[in-house]
Copies of this chain bind each other. A is one copy, B any other.
Amino acid sequence: MKLKQPGIVAGVSNRHVHLSREDVEVLFGKGYTLTPIKDLGQPGQFACQETVIIVGPKGAIEKVRVLGPERKETQVEISLTDAFKLGVKPPVRDSGDLDNTPGIVIVGPKGSVIKDRGVIIAKRHIHMHTSNAEKYGVKDKQIVKVLVEKEGRRLIFDDVLIRVSEKYALEFHVDTDEANAALLKTGDLVYIIEE
């Protein structure tokens, strides 16, 4: 097995929500502005001080982090573990691809919204800048295999989507189920397998 060098830094995504302007105002109040507390790996993206409660037919999860900036449409990204707890059946999807996704109730300090769509399990992916794609010899939307070598739970993720943009920084994104299955933590290095 030949690996493409150098390794790529992993970023583990915990459950989170992206909110539309309209939903920010319902959940947190008219004219409210989200409060950035931490920059994320991708330029311009940030974690907010604000959290919400998400509620499905079988359960609720509290303290779900809001990520900024605001988006055109509200999107809730959860793990399959979370989905079982909530009683919803989201598909594995790329961010923004929300047709035929299940809805959910979102509760904030000032109000609640009943979304009729927007819940997904994020498809694992590698963000990379155009210059990285050239170096690794891969293209936007290509599917690659990624090796994670943690003691006792070594594994190979197939179905890893390459996402290339001038706006992206190099980062391998998985959710908490995927990270835990491999004992992977944010900051660990993973490797694209040469095919």
Q: Which residues of A contact B (CB under 8 A)?
A: 79-81, 91-92, 123-124, 152-159, 174, 176-178, 180-183
Contacts and interface: CB of A to CB of B under 8 A. Distances in A.
A interface SS class: mixed
Considering residues A79, A155, A156, A157, which has the most beta carbons from chain B within 10 angstroms of its beta carbon? Answer: A155
Contacts of A181: 157, 174, 177-178, 180-182
Contacts of A183: 80, 92
B81 A177 contact: yes
A152 B123 contact: yes
Nearest to A14: B84
16 contacts: A80-B180, A81-B176, A81-B180, A92-B152, A92-B153, A92-B183, A123-B152, A155-B155, A155-B156, A155-B157, A155-B158, A155-B159, A156-B156, A174-B181, A177-B180, A180-B181
Given A81-B180, A155-B158, 18 more contacts: A79-B81, A81-B176, A91-B152, A92-B152, A92-B153, A123-B152, A153-B159, A154-B158, A155-B155, A155-B156, A155-B157, A155-B159, A156-B156, A174-B181, A176-B177, A177-B181, A180-B181, A181-B182
Contacts of A81: 79, 81, 176-177, 180
A157 B154 CA distance: 7
A130 B183 CA distance: 31
